Amino acid sequence: MLIVRTAMGEAEMGARSHDAPYEEVHLAAVAAVDLLRRLAAEPGEGSPPLPAEGDVVRFLVRTHPGRYPRAVGCPEWLTEAWRSCDLPAEVRAPHPTPPADGGTALERLRSDVAAGTAAGDRASAHVVRLAAAYEAGALTAADIVEEYPARWTMPIRVRFNHKRARHAFERELRALLTSSLGTDPTAWLKLLTAVDAACRPDCRDPGALSSWAALVKQSQDTVAASADLLLPQRKPVGGKVEDQLFRAQWWWPAGEVLRRCDTDVLDAVMTELTPNLGTLLAQYVVALRIGTPRAVLEHFLRSRNRDALLVIARGIDLTPGTALRLLAYGDPEIHLAVLGHHFYVSAEERRRVVTDPAVQLAPHADRIPWNALPDCLHAVEPELIEAAFASTHRAKFKMQEQLTGCLNLLRHGGPSRLSGLLATGHVGPAVTRICEKALTADDPEAALRARAAKELTTPKLAARLRRLGPRAGADAADRLMELFPEPDWPYLEAEHAREPFRYWPQMLNRPGTPPDVAARNIEAIRRDYRRHRSYPESWLTDDGVLRAGLDHSADQDGAAEQLEDLLTAGLLTPDDLLRRLGQGPCVLRVLGDARRRPDAPPQIGETVEQLAALVRAHLPVGDEEAWQRLYRRLTGSDPHHPERGTIEELLAA
């Protein structure tokens, strides 16, 4: 994980407890050393000193080969250091790992393509080699788009599942389609025809293994087929659509093109196709389970394709961003679908649904899903609040929930509506007495609001959070945090220090958490298992410093990609990478790999230039002692652990 350095570390971490790399900062040591040695040697002043201490070399040679620099493989300097240290026989030589070879990867791919479609069972091995070559800078994404058979990318989630290479492939493919075809619907219809003909499962023609680039060229001489022929070979009927796709029970080459179109292209092309194709496209993107492309979603919204939007709203993988965008359509059925059970939609999005004044859900109060009934206490429609109290869920409503529901009913339905609810007996006796007293006041709403505030205090929030058991889930913590507005965070932090809250990460990982609170609790936020609920802007302090959010241990490629995205978006600068981000060796590994790739953000090159200046200032090639100190730091031998700090601290310590 990349974090801004905190006071934690020197005093708490202690000395290195492993004789082989275990922590991410130590697993990144070989890659970090390799980059620093190369930058020091670039001015032509010779090679820096090799690691000379046996313990340091022993530690480095035990690095897993998967953490070597991708463009280098096993560095020569590491093998030389092992030879020169005369280590005991049990300390084996570094594993000889050659760097990824783009030329060899392409040759093997072409050989299998020439063998015909029977070679498709080796597609996964090709993906591994091509992805490794791309990461090492030995191939570009354009090379892969030019050579890799289009049918082997269908569906891409199953057939091309190396995250960073897949994303680069997608960007390059979309750029190729846009630059070659523009917004001409005829050109896109020709491509749909060419791809559909070449990539059908039963196709055995010589062009069956054509690449996307080749298909774009072939489509120029293709006669557009009838729209009736561009349908899935087998429609998704019965069972889960996702399962049918994974089992290859339906196949849709044209759908692979359509899901990559820009919104303007879809607006023009879809009118030329069969009327129900939008619904099929929605089913297809839901089945792929890689998220609904924004262009596809915007096309459905623009074209007012209600059936397609309902398919997306009912998808189990609906994301928070897509859910909120769907609400713009203003349809009760879509609102009800968003309220349903999804993996990633939580109380926050459901509350947006029931507080949307543009859509009336009151006529459908009996269709509110059970999981959304607690959120209806915050609704703007009295009928939804009454439905929540009338449900069996009311047995779980404590005083705070009941007071919140009654206050909202009074606010949106008036005194008579609240009196009617109290008469049903669905409200607890204590809250009923409070409400009846408030109704006798000159300003019932103000009186009830003041009384509710006495129950919505931070100590009572802490007590409620303490009672959440292992089966309560993050949703229960979410609802409590929303129920108690503007909690006293220092009080909660003190309570957590006294006795940890079970859902502390979920309590913190919220858009409303104050920046200073988030800064003090970086590690807890990182432990929130709901990775999709990270709020990128909330990871930045007022002056733009990254606080948290990148975890190298779970997915080093994913973390590196996020870091590059933050650089591209201007949320991080080269100076941040060198002087503000902690775990410097991990950042060095990212820089060392990324600088080889032609499609890396230009900020990577700027950072490496500034890094080279730091290396010249702190690590002169001839300064033996400076380099040995560096090697000791990177392998955890320094009791102050500067390797957990910034790159500048690592070099200057």
Q: Which residues of 269-306 are buried (b: 16+ CB within 10 A; e: fewer)?
A: bbeebeeebbbbbbbbbbbbbebbbebbbbbbbebebe
Q: What is the pTM of this model?
A: 0.84
| 356 pLDDT higher than 70 | yes
Spatial contact of 532 and 548, defined as CB atoms under 8 Å apart: no
Domain for residue 206, yes or no?
yes
Beta bridge partners of 546: 540
Domain for residue 173, yes or no?
yes
Q: Which residue has the higher pLDDT, 17 or 454?
A: 454
**Over the stretch 285-336, which tens digit does the pLDDT of each residue have?**
988 888 899 999 999 999 999 999 999 999 888 888 899 999 999 999 999 9
- CA dist 327 and 320 (Å) reads 11
- CA dist 401 and 298 (Å) reads 37
Cβ contacts of 322 within 8 Å, gap of 6 or more = 291, 292, 297, 312
Q: State the residue range of the domain holding 271.
A: 163-314
Cα–chain center distance at 248: 27
Domain for residue 480, yes or no?
no
The pLDDT, as a whole number, for residue 415 is: 96
Q: What average pLDDT does the structure give for the chain?
A: 85
Residue 542 pLDDT level (bands cut at 50, 70, 90): very low
**Over the stretch 149-204, which tens digit does the pLDDT of each residue have?**
998 888 765 566 667 888 899 999 999 999 999 999 999 999 999 999 898 877 87
**Over the stretch 441-472, which tens digit does the pLDDT of each residue have?**
999 999 999 999 999 999 999 999 999 988 87
Burial, 457: exposed, middle or buried (Cβ in 10 Å; 0-12, 13-18, 19+)? middle
Place of tokens 């990177």: 634
DSSP state of 231: S
If one counts every other C-beta atom within 10 angstroms of the C-beta of residue 445, the result is 16
Cα 641–644–650 angle (5° rounding)?
Answer: 75
* Counts of helices then strands in the chain (DSSP H, E): 38, 0
Could you list the beta-strand ranges (E) of 436-575. Answer: none
Average of per-residue pLDDT across 519-541: 63
Cβ contacts of 520 within 8 Å, gap of 6 or more = 493
3-state helix, strand, coil split of the chain in percent (to 5) is 65, 0, 35
- CA dist 127 and 364 (Å) reads 49
**Over the stretch 490-506, which tens digit does the pLDDT of each residue have?**
999 999 999 999 999 88
Spatial contact of 186 and 224, defined as CB atoms under 8 Å apart: yes
Q: Which residue has the higher pLDDT, 566 or 402?
A: 402
Q: Which residue has the higher pLDDT, 94 or 57?
A: 57
Residue 344 pLDDT level (bands cut at 50, 70, 90): confident
Q: Which of 142-151, 362-371, 384-393, 535-544 has the lowest mean pLDDT?
A: 535-544
Element at 21 (helix H, strand E): none
The pLDDT, as a whole number, for residue 45 is: 75
Residue 536 pLDDT level (bands cut at 50, 70, 90): very low
| DSSP secondary structure of 534-569 | --GGGGB-TT--B-S-B-TTT-HHHHHHHHHHHHHT
- CA dist 443 and 394 (Å) reads 27
Domain for residue 301, yes or no?
yes
Structure token digits, residue 245: 């796709």
The pLDDT, as a whole number, for residue 478 is: 83
Structure token digits, residue 466: 């303490």
Domain for residue 225, yes or no?
yes
Query: Nearest CA to 506 among 540, 529, 539?
Result: 529
Place of tokens 């997915």: 555
**Over the stretch 102-125, which tens digit does the pLDDT of each residue have?**
999 999 999 988 887 666 667 888
- CA dist 496 and 513 (Å) reads 16
Place of tokens 């060095």: 588
Q: Which of 112-126, 269-283, 390-404, 423-437 has the lowest mean pLDDT?
A: 112-126
Residue 238 pLDDT level (bands cut at 50, 70, 90): low
**Over the stretch 252-267, which tens digit does the pLDDT of each residue have?**
899 999 999 999 999 9
DSSP state of 441: S
Q: What percentage of the chain reaches a pLDDT higher than 90? A: 48
> Helices 399-413 and 382-390: crossing angle, nearest 10°?
150
The pLDDT, as a whole number, for residue 617 is: 92
Q: What percentage of the chain reaches a pLDDT higher than 70? A: 88
Average of per-residue pLDDT across 218-238: 76
Domain for residue 92, yes or no?
no
Domain for residue 361, yes or no?
no
Spatial contact of 519 and 544, defined as CB atoms under 8 Å apart: no
The pLDDT, as a whole number, for residue 233 is: 74
Q: How many independent structural domains does the chain possess?
A: 1
Domain for residue 416, yes or no?
no
- CA dist 255 and 245 (Å) reads 12
